[in-house]
Amino acid sequence: MSTLQIDIVSDVVCPWCFIGKRQLERALAKLHVERSDIVPRIRWLPYFLNPDTPVEGEPYRPFLERKFGGPEKLAQLQAHVAEAGRTAGIDFAFEQIEVRANTLRAHRLIHHVQKTGDAGELVERLFAAHFLNGEDIGDINLLARLAGECGQDASAVQAYLCSDEDAAAVRAQAERGQRMGISGVPFFIFNGRHGVGGAQPPEILLDAMRLSLMTH
């Protein structure tokens, strides 16, 4: 068996990152048909789309209208994202989202889970909570519940999130990505060598994986 290291730089309030996750899953399914000996190992790395978001979050729609130039432009953008989402099997429910969350706690939780295992299930639940259910993924109680659903000790997670543990480490990881020149997400890095930016089609991701395996 050979390992394929996949680092994914993303933010859990980025719809394209959710789409990119689906595209990667499709690419990995195709890779498995070609190379069943390959074991993918995925690591999620933090990115802050809006690092100045208040800790308690802020109203979702007004924030996006300011960012993208008004309600009309926002509607056009969300329609475009929704169509891309449907192609990837995601039914975005933007109308249900009320809070634009500060994602530091969510990134800390992902970081915490990855110390001892894989955070893929947690990341999936975070994306679903935000984009499908309209939940506030900056809320400590929600994050503890989602972690509990993934087999973590919910009370221990709650205590962890109430502290500042790993906050500096997570911010440092995000800054490291920026120093590498990553200015948009999702961004995929295969075997530490080949980077692909954006929610690319599965075929593009598959080609990058093939190349990284040839040169690893």
Tens of pLDDT along 145-159? Answer: 999 999 999 999 999
Could you tell me whether strands 38-46 and 2-10 are parallel, antiparallel, or unpaired per DSSP bridges? parallel
Asked, for residue 216, whether it belongs to a domain, the answer is: no
For residues 126 and 66, state if they share a domain.
no
For residues 162 and 110, state if they share a domain.
yes
CB crowding 55-85: b at 16 or more within 10 Å, else e: eebeebeebbbeeeeeeeebeebbeebbebb
The CA distance from 108 to 161, in Å, is: 8
Asked, for residue 67, whether it belongs to a domain, the answer is: yes
For residues 85 and 133, state if they share a domain.
no
For residues 168 and 127, state if they share a domain.
yes
How long, in residues, is the chain?
216
Asked, for residue 138, whether it belongs to a domain, the answer is: yes
Q: How far is CA 95 from CA 55, 89, 123, 183, 215, in A?
A: 22, 18, 21, 27, 45
191 CB-near residues (< 8 Å, 6+ apart): 4, 5, 212, 213, 215, 216
- Count of structural domains, the chain: 2
- Read off the pLDDT of each residue in 117-131 and give the average, rounded to a whole number: 99
Tens of pLDDT along 53-71? Answer: 999 999 999 999 999 999 9
The CA distance from 6 to 27, in Å, is: 12
204 CB-near residues (< 8 Å, 6+ apart): 196
For residues 106 and 168, state if they share a domain.
yes
The answer to whether 16 and 52 are in contact (CB under 8 A) is no
Asked, for residue 146, whether it belongs to a domain, the answer is: yes
- So what's the pLDDT on residue 216? 61
Q: Residue 72 is part of which domain span? A: 60-92
For residues 106 and 82, state if they share a domain.
no
For residues 113 and 72, state if they share a domain.
no
- Read off the pLDDT of each residue in 103-120 and give the average, rounded to a whole number: 98
Tens of pLDDT along 73-108? Answer: 999 999 999 999 999 999 999 999 999 999 999 999
Asked, for residue 204, whether it belongs to a domain, the answer is: no
Question: Does residue 215 register a pLDDT over 80?
Answer: no
Task: Give the bridge partners for 197, in sequence order.
Answer: 187
What type of residue sits at position 150? Answer: C
For residues 84 and 127, state if they share a domain.
no
What type of residue sits at position 142? Answer: L
For residues 109 and 168, state if they share a domain.
yes
For residues 69 and 126, state if they share a domain.
no
- In this prediction the pTM is 0.97
